[in-house]
């Protein structure tokens, strides 16, 4: 797995493209409106593509395929992405905590 910082993310009709801060490009196919790779957080839970943003540092696993095109010698196909957990959820139930409005009207 390689650790990268996302510089840009783009979509075409058939591809999802990530460019890292060094200019290296990673691609994933889009099939029937979904990407064909998996995205996980640090807790090994699968998450949505919407959890990835430009500027994020991610771990990315790729399959390298040599291209016959001389301009594009290697194509880095995305196999798996691991992102950092962005949110920490409190395990307390919202029913256990009075809101400020409830306290105000009491």
User: CA geometry: angle at 20 spanning 39 and 17, to 5°?
Assistant: 60
Domain segments of the chain as ranges:
2-105
pLDDT value at residue 102? 56
Per-residue pLDDT tens, the chain, 106 aa: give them: 899 999 999 999 899 999 999 999 999 999 988 899 999 999 999 999 989 999 999 999 998 776 555 455 467 899 999 999 876 666 655 555 555 555 555 5
pLDDT value at residue 70? 46
Whether this prediction's pTM lies above 0.85 is answered by: no
pLDDT value at residue 57? 94
According to CATH, the topology of domain 2-105 is OB fold (Dihydrolipoamide Acetyltransferase, E2P) (2.40.50)
Q: Are the C-beta atoms of residues 37 and 56 closer than 8 Å to each other? A: no
Other C-beta atoms lying within 10 Å of the C-beta of residue 77: 15
pLDDT value at residue 82? 94
Per DSSP, the three-state class of 70 is: coil
Per DSSP, the three-state class of 35 is: strand
Q: What share of the chain is helix, strand, coil (3-state, %, to 5)?
A: 10, 45, 45
Q: Are the C-beta atoms of residues 81 and 26 closer than 8 Å to each other? A: no
């Amino acid at each position: 797995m390689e650790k990268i910082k996302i510089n840009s993310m783009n979509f075409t009709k058939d591809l999802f493209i990530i460019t890292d801060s060094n200019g290296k490009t990673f691609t994933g196919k889009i099939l029937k409106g979904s990407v064909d790779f998996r995205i996980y957080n640090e807790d090994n839970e699968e998450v949505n593509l919407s959890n990835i943003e430009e500027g994020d540092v991610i771990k990315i696993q790729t399959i390298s395929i040599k291209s016959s095109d001389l301009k594009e010698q290697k194509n880095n196909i995305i196999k798996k992405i691991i992102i950092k957990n962005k949110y920490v959820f409190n395990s307390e139930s919202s029913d256990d905590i009075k809101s400020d409005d409830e306290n105000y009207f009491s």
